[in-house]
């Protein structure tokens, strides 16, 4: 009996302060992350308008989402197209920039700072700037540039076929400097001796790049691609600021509708909070799968 009561007390005396010090983080973590996560899973099985109590309806939200909801299918298609294009182009340009400007001379440093600038600029300000640049009037910067090349003014933001390309352009423009910085870091971990050895074996510039640089940059590439994919799946501001119409979040004909904007639209414009939670869980599963791929690739690389 005595040992039973003594053990916890002793344990408390020994670790009490430790648990107390963990408490602020763990309390906030549990209250605003773990519990909401579980709660959103529950809500995804309910009909919930935010006023009346949630009404359990099983898998109905997911069934509707995956089989009946054309807008969601459209949002998924747009998102995948956008993600693949922006990450693909962005990663290639990041690598190119890193190869071009990895030196320590001041022109290289200035170039790196210029390309990195959007990463530290207010993203809403940048989105408003793009909206102004793509102004449909002939005085907009994009349309002025069109006239220089003999073109005509274009309704950039009201042409459905241009929506995804413009979103990709904004994403690549804003993100390639970040990838470049990661690639520069990766390049600088490659020992110079490897290149010397390759040269002695008669390898030209291209062969050195193919046989030395690229393979050794593989962990960086994995990191840039996976974090890029995860970030791109969560795109919201570009759609909300640049393409949102008066009563439609996705722009003309939903041409810019994506997962998170649709989540916002269903949850906080139409107050279908249960349905929005189901969308949130689809997003969660996509990103979780990507993270797992990231872990697996990382582990596989370590075993090489």
Partner 1 sequence: MAVAPTTTPIVADPAAAPRQAPAAGAGTTWRGHLLRLPFYLLSLTMIAPFYWMLITVFKPVTELNRQPPSFVPEHPTLNNFYDPGYSPTQVNPGHLQGIFQRFQVDFGFGRFMFNSLVITVAITVGSLLVASLAAYVITKHRVPGRRLIFLLIVASMMVPWQTTLVPNYVIMRNLGWLDTYQGYIVPALAKAFVLFFLVQFLHSVPDELIQAARVDGAGEWRIWWQIVLPLLRPALAAMSIFIVLAEWNNFLWPLIIVQSDEMANIPVALARLNSYFTGAQNQGAIMAGGLLASLPSIAFFLAFQRYFTRGIVLSGLKG
Map the footprint of partner 1 across residues 4-43, applying CB under 8 A: 11, 15, 17-19, 21-22, 24-26, 28-29, 31-37, 39-40, 43
Distance separating alpha carbons of residues 2 and 11, to the nearest angstrom: 14
Separation between Cα atoms, residue 100 and residue 180, nearest integer Å: 10
Q: Looking at beta carbons only, is 137 or 150 nearer to partner 1?
A: 137
Token reading at 208: 């050195």
Token pair 């359990």 in the structure block, residue = 56
Report d(CA 86, CA 271) in Å as an integer: 31
How near is the Cβ of 147 to partner 1 at its closest, in Å? 8
135: its two tokens: 């102004």
- Separation of alpha carbons 81 and 293, rounded Å: 20
| Closer Cβ to partner 1, 65 or 184, answer by number | 184
CB of 109 to partner 1, least distance (A): 5
Which part of the chain contacts partner 1 (CB under 8 A), choosing from 68-76, 77-85, 154-162, 267-275? Answer: 267-275
180-209 positions binding partner 1, by CB under 8 A: 180-182, 184-190, 192, 195, 205, 208-209
Smallest gap from Cβ 13 to partner 1, in A, equals 13
Nearest CB to partner 1, comparing residues 82 and 115: 115
Element (H, E) at 84: helix 70-100
Contact set for partner 1, span 120-179 (CB under 8 A): 120-126, 128-133, 135, 137-139, 141, 144, 147, 173, 177
The minimum distance between CB 283 and partner 1, in angstroms, equals 6
x/- mask, partner 1, residues 49-78, rule CB under 8 A, reads: -x----------------------------
Pairing of strands 55-56, 46-47: antiparallel
CA 122/CA 101 separation, integer angstroms: 25
Q: Which residue has the tokens 């648990």?
A: 19
Q: Least CB distance from residue 151 to partner 1, whole Å?
A: 14
Residue 181 CB, nearest approach to partner 1 (Å): 4
- Alpha-carbon distance of 173 to 90, in angstroms, equals 8
**CB of 96 or CB of 160, closer to partner 1:** 96
d(CA 31, CA 167): 35
């Amino acid at each position: 009996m005595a040992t039973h009561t003594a053990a916890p007390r002793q344990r408390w005396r020994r670790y009490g302060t430790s648990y107390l010090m963990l408490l602020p983080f763990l309390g906030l973590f549990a209250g605003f992350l773990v519990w909401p996560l579980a709660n959103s899973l529950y809500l995804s099985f309910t009909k919930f308008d935010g006023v009346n109590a949630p009404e359990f309806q099983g898998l109905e939200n997911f069934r509707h989402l995956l089989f009946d909801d054309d807008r969601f299918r459209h949002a998924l298609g747009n998102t995948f197209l956008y993600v693949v294009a922006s990450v693909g182009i962005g990663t290639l340009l990041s690598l190119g920039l890193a190869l071009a400007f990895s030196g320590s001379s001041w022109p290289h440093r200035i170039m790196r700072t210029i390309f990195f600038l959007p990463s530290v600029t207010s993203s809403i300000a940048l989105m408003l700037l793009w909206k102004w640049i793509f102004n449909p009037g002939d005085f907009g910067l994009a349309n002025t540039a069109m006239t220089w090349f003999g073109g005509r003014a274009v309704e950039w933001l009201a042409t459905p076929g241009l929506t995804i390309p413009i979103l990709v352009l904004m994403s690549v423009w804003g993100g390639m400097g970040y990838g470049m910085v990661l690639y520069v870091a990766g390049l600088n971990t490659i020992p110079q001796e490897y290149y010397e050895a390759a040269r002695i074996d008669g390898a030209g510039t291209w062969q050195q790049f193919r046989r030395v640089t690229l393979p050794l940059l593989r962990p960086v590439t994995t990191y840039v691609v996976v974090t890029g994919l995860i970030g791109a799946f969560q795109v919201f501001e570009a759609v909300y600021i640049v393409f949102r119409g008066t009563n439609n979040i996705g722009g003309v004909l939903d041409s810019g509708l994506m997962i998170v904007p649709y989540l916002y639209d269903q949850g906080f414009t139409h107050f279908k909070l249960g349905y929005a939670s189901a969308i949130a869980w689809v997003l969660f599963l996509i990103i979780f799968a990507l993270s797992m791929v990231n872990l697996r690739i990382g582990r596989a690389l370590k075993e090489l």
